[in-house]
Amino acid sequence: MNALTNTTALQRNRLRARKRPDHASAMFLHRAAIADLQERLIEVNKSFTRLAIVTGFPELWQQAFPTAACVPDADRLDLSAGSHDLVIHAMGLHWANDPVGQMVQCRLALMPDGLFLAIFPGGQTLSELRTCLAEAEAAITGGLSPRVLPMAEIRDLGGLLQRAGFALPVADSFTTTATYASLGNLMADLRTMGETNALSARLRKPTRRAVFSRAATIYSDVHGVEVDRIKATFELICLTGWAPHESQQTPLKPGSARQRLAEALRVPELPFSTDG
């Protein structure tokens, strides 16, 4: 099976992003992710002392979690089995060629009753850019090429946590928007984030200027929010799961209830009927 992501291109994009002078200011999505996870950890009635973070941008995450061990989001994670009580997969799971495999490696690195948190862009991210580029390219060239990473939908992700062996799986999300002066400014920001096209099937020759010109016009017409501004949507999905432990709550077995639902609700129990 062909890999979705070209990891060499991804690392090259990230290295170039770090060298840009405006790199720090463009990392607002990472800062939003950090703030969200910090709030979630405050609500967890447990202290964590052996934290690992899987990230392609360790500098930023190390500042937020100074005691964490940061490891690259490579195909094979540099995590020892049963060594951590908290593992955070930070803003890289959307690029993983095997996301379930990444989750399994994180679970194996956890102690029993250890917590796994993953946060990454979801399916609504850059929806405006995706549709405008597709419409413009189809109109100019008569075809489509892979330009924006296909991202997971939240409805599918709870099942992936279960496949990876996590207990008490939860998937939720939030969206944020940013405005830009032009499509060019948006794409420059993506370069500075290290989030430009690293798909294995990406176009390997320069795109015709007319495609971007048409896309900019469509974007402005459809997604303009004020004079000379366009909006971009970013969805961040958070996955939560626990390494299994005997102390955790488990659902009752079917048929083990000691009281009928109608009795608990104090309402008459009506017989089931298939008649229309």
Q: Taking the domains of the chain in order of start, what are their residue ranges?
A: 7-125+150-181+231-246
Q: Is residue 194 exposed (0-12), middle (13-18) or buried (19+ Cβ within 10 Å)?
A: buried
d(CA 194, CA 197): 9
Confirm if 79 and 52 have CB atoms less than 8 A apart. yes
pLDDT at residue 24, rounded to an integer: 93
pLDDT at residue 245, rounded to an integer: 85
């100074």: which residue's tokens? Answer: 66
Sign of CA dihedral 183, 184, 186, 187: positive
- The segments of the chain whose pLDDT lies below 70 read 1, 249-267, 269-276
What is the separation, in whole angstroms, between the first and last Cα of the chain?
Answer: 49
Question: What are 180's strand-pairing partners?
Answer: 230
pLDDT at residue 153, rounded to an integer: 85
Tens digits of residue pLDDT in 70-117: 999 999 999 999 999 999 999 999 999 999 999 999 999 999 999 999
DSSP code per residue over 219-240: HHHHHEEETTEEEEEEEEEEEE
Closest residue by Cα to residue 26 from 197, 227, 195: 195
Confirm if 132 and 147 have CB atoms less than 8 A apart. no
d(CA 222, CA 231): 10
d(CA 143, CA 140): 8
pLDDT at residue 187, rounded to an integer: 96
Question: Could you give the 3-state DSSP secondary structure of residue 50?
Answer: coil
Tens digits of residue pLDDT in 236-260: 999 999 999 887 766 556 565 566 6
Q: Is residue 206 exposed (0-12), middle (13-18) or buried (19+ Cβ within 10 Å)?
A: exposed
Which fold would CATH assign to domain 7-125+150-181+231-246?
Answer: Rossmann fold (3.40.50)
Closest residue by Cα to residue 240 from 124, 103, 123, 56: 103
pLDDT at residue 273, rounded to an integer: 55
